[in-house]
């Protein structure tokens, strides 16, 4: 069911500072910031040869990233994103196995303009999992 690793997401308290570190200090190619109000985040992608790293900061008062940063003020790994061919089939298969899909269970459009879903971290050893349809 799982395809390749699409990205690892890191929550950061200051997106501009993080972009400077990844871009200038590490010499990586970093995308322009993209605000995603439906997800409550602003993101950039650090482009790598084999995958991406997503840097995200809270957007708005109700951002799920704000609560994460309250517990982890320096930031940290927030989630792993895996690709799937058919997000609805993947969701239904996972639900049949007792996996909890977050939110209303319907895919939302993610930062890449593709449908995404998030799976409860308690069902995956404490790791928030994002699925993205390719």
Express each pLDDT in 57-68 by its tens digit: 999 888 999 999
Q: Which residue out of 54, 61, 83, 130 is catalytically annotated?
A: 130
Closest by alpha carbon to 120, among 97, 103, 132? 103
CATH homologous superfamily of 5-133:
2,3-Dihydroxybiphenyl 1,2-Dioxygenase, domain 1 (3.10.180.10)
The answer, yes or no, to whether residue 21 has pLDDT greater than 90, is: yes
End-to-end CA distance of the chain: 12
Question: Two tokens at 105?
Answer: 């269970």
The model carries a pTM of 0.94
Q: Report the distance separating Cα 128 and Cα 68, nearest Å.
A: 12
Please report the pLDDT score of residue 75 as a whole number.
97
16 catalytically annotated: no
Q: Note the pLDDT tens digit of each residue in 23-82.
A: 999 999 999 999 999 899 999 999 999 999 999 999 988 899 999 999 999 999 999 999
Please report the pLDDT score of residue 62 as a whole number.
87
């Amino acid at each position: 069911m799982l395809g390749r690793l699409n990205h690892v997401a890191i929550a950061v308290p200051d997106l501009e500072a993080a972009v400077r570190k990844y871009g200038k200090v590490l010499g990586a190619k970093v995308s322009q910031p993209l605000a995603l109000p439906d997800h409550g985040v602003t993101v950039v992608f650090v482009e790598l040869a084999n995958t991406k790293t997503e840097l995200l900061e809270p957007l708005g008062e109700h951002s799920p990233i704000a609560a994460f940063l309250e517990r982890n003020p320096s930031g940290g790994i927030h989630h792993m994103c895996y690709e799937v061919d058919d997000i609805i089939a993947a969701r239904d298969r996972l639900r049949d196995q007792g996996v909890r899909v977050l939110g209303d269970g319907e895919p939302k459009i993610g930062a890449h303009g593709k449908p995404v879903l998030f799976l409860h971290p308690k069902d995956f050893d404490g790791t928030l999992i994002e699925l993205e349809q390719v």
